[in-house]
Amino acid sequence: MKDNYGRKIQYLRLSVTDLCNYRCIYCMPETGIQKKAHDDILSIEEFTEIVRAAHSLGIRKIRLTGGEPLVRKGVITLCRNIKAIDRDIELGITTNGSLLAPIAKELKDAGVDRLNISLDTLNRDTFRSITRGGALQDVLNGIIAAQQAGFEKLKINTVLLAGINDGELLDFIRLTKDAPLHLRFIELMPIGVAKHWKADRFMTAASIEGYLQNAELKAIDGVARVYAMPGHQGTIGIIGPMSHSFCPTCNKIRVTPDGKLKPCLHSDQEIDLKGLRDKALIQALADGIRQKPESHRFGEASDSTARFMNEIGG
């Protein structure tokens, strides 16, 4: 269905948990977050019903995110349930990859079409400090297992943090030479923890593009400008939510772990879906789609979400 501004809304992102085994410095508070009561979190059945209702309104693409979606019990059942609603739904997961290796094949068999794996550094020590304790090798094992399980076009999401991992840009680009990996460099957004970060930590899309002088612009893929270096198998995409407004073509809505529909990532506007079923659920989703804001303005207090990124899912 279309929103009030004529945008066709086809993409639903489900944040299936706000919990995570990492505490990335720009995403989660060091102390973690207060665990919500079991009853306040949507069950796997409730998520399934939301997908069924959203599908009846024209949603055709679903992405599971979090927190870390792979810490959520029942996530594989949810994948199977979603594919049972319509096997043509494009189902993706965004994960930190650390828990992927043992279940990559199971996810593939459950119908997951695409995996985006977040990886901000190729250096063990920097990895440990960005994630506050994570082990790089776990994620590398996850990437290998995903390739072996038959996931094609793996995307690697990298948030560039000036002075922390920007020196590795060329190392990341080199990864695309011999492997069909699709890098996505993402501008840091002032949300959650990063809302209070100094401006000099934020790298612009233009400064990232400066490293791609020999690259060829291949496509505009949704919100990414996609480049390839001559002779490289993979691609390099740049996603610049701070530099470019995606609002006119935004086709997404989001649901938080506690069942709030967020028509816009950056707005505090939320519609409670918890406890709703059948027609009432479809009606609430349709209301949320219609009410999707026309655009957002970063940095304005009146136009910025109070939630942390691990609750919304990126």
Contacts of 177 (CB under 8 A, 6+ apart): 229, 231, 232, 233, 234
Report, in Å, the least distance between residue 48 CB and ligand SAM: 20
Report, in Å, the least distance between residue 28 CB and ligand SF4: 4
Contacts of 252 (CB under 8 A, 6+ apart): 9, 11, 12, 13, 265
Residue 111 has which token pair? 């119908």
Count, residues near ligand SF4 per rule CB under 6 A: 13
Site for ligand SF4 contains 254 (CB under 6 A): no
d(CA 67, CA 104): 18
d(CA 302, CA 292): 16
Report, in Å, the least distance between residue 2 CB and ligand SAM: 27
Could you say which of ligand SAM, ligand SF4, none residue 189 binds, taking C-beta under 5 to 8 angstroms by partner kind?
ligand SAM
Site for ligand SF4 contains 185 (CB under 6 A): no
Residue 59 has which token pair? 């949603």
3-state secondary structure of 84: helix
The residue from 3, 46, 68, 187 that contacts ligand SF4 (CB under 6 A) is 68
Query: Of the ranges 15-23, 139-147, 180-188, 196-204, which one interacts with ligand SF4 (CB under 6 A)?
Result: 15-23
The bridge status of strand 114-118 relative to strand 252-255 is unpaired
Nearer to ligand SF4, 21 or 233 (CB): 21
Site for ligand SAM contains 189 (CB under 6 A): yes
77 to 96: interface string for ligand SAM, x by CB under 6 A: -----------------xxx
